[in-house]
A and B are shown apart, each in its own frame.
Chain A
């Protein structure tokens, strides 16, 4: 061993104290997730976020690194969530002309679907004996993840649990959506897309885009509108009902 090189554990101590390690881990795990997702021809079950979270969680366990240490580095990625939320205004703006002439059915689908997503999740979870921490994480789960986490902070729910339930909801909606839509005999692409967007936000939207462009456009509009209206109505409703 050459004497002028630091011992491996010194390099490790230096790296694990710097934000760089968590950043590399986050980006590399996400990249791996995207590659697997593309290899499986965009199968909704091979969701890149789910894969990245699993890989990172396993790595943290293997390195015995506490979550707080990891987050100190990964917070630079996390910070951009707010900025990305603001930039959602662009796809909503572009989708506004699609509302023309279909305002009534789309508004009803949005409000009815949004209310159903909360009431059904909370009732089912309570019925099966879930505790209030879990139930709190279910309120905002049909909103797009960055908005859902912001809403969770406002209603004293865990943003982390909300993020996990949100991603899971998106995956489930993208995987199960077409069977439900066929079962209720909904055939118009714009209605199918919008329903998926209301229920399963971004993950459902990218699924809808891969099936039909009109379905994708309406899913994106539904995701954006549900995010904005949910962010205004859910904290208000929860604080009123409590």
Chain B
């Protein structure tokens, strides 16, 4: 497991350095993700350690953003005052997004070459 963690941390490190000095607009971990993905495609398989670490992270993904989300207490009065606008924007947007994504996938499959 440690070998997998080392590999992932190294890719994160390279990503952070590239984000700092070359592509400041993209978050470092995302650059690390793309590099690790390229490495996996090149290698043609997922090393056992990397697989294990990734599965563990995926299982407890939610826990990791709890500390930041608790920061909502700082915005509480702000959020209360604009609750209606926020609720309408979030609900409207998620409904529109699901509808548009589903319709595009459906319509382009029918007109595409791989229709059943």
Instruction: Give the interface of A toward B (CB within 8 A).
Output: 22, 26-27, 29-30, 33, 47-49, 52-53, 56-57, 60-61, 67, 70-71, 74-75, 77-78, 80-94, 96, 101-102, 104-106, 108-110, 112-114, 116-117, 120-122, 124-125, 128-131, 133-134, 138, 141-142, 145-147, 149-151, 153-154, 158-161, 163-169, 172-173, 176-177, 180-181, 183-186, 188, 191-192, 194-196, 198-200, 202, 222, 227-228, 231-232, 235-236, 239
Contact = CB atoms under 8 A, between A and B. Distances in A.
Contact of B85 (A81, A85, A129, A239): A129
Interface of B: 5, 8-9, 11-12, 15-16, 24-30, 32-34, 36-37, 40-41, 46, 50-51, 53-55, 57-58, 61-75, 78-79, 82, 84-86, 88-109, 112, 114
Chain A at the B interface: SS class: helix
Given A184-B103, A199-B98, A235-B26, A67 B91 contact: no
A202 to B, nearest CB: 6
A192 B61 CA distance: 23
Given A26-B66, A130-B86, A235-B25, A84 B73 contact: no
Contacts of B11: 86, 89
Contacts of A142: 93-94, 97
Chain B at the A interface: SS class: helix
A184 B65 contact: no
A33 B95 CA distance: 26
Contacts of A87: 8, 36, 50, 53-54, 57-58
A71 B62 contact: no
A121 B101 contact: no
Contacts of A151: 27
In the A-B complex, list the 7 residue pairs whose CB atoms are closest, starting with the nearest.
A150-B27, A113-B101, A160-B71, A128-B85, A74-B67, A121-B93, A85-B29
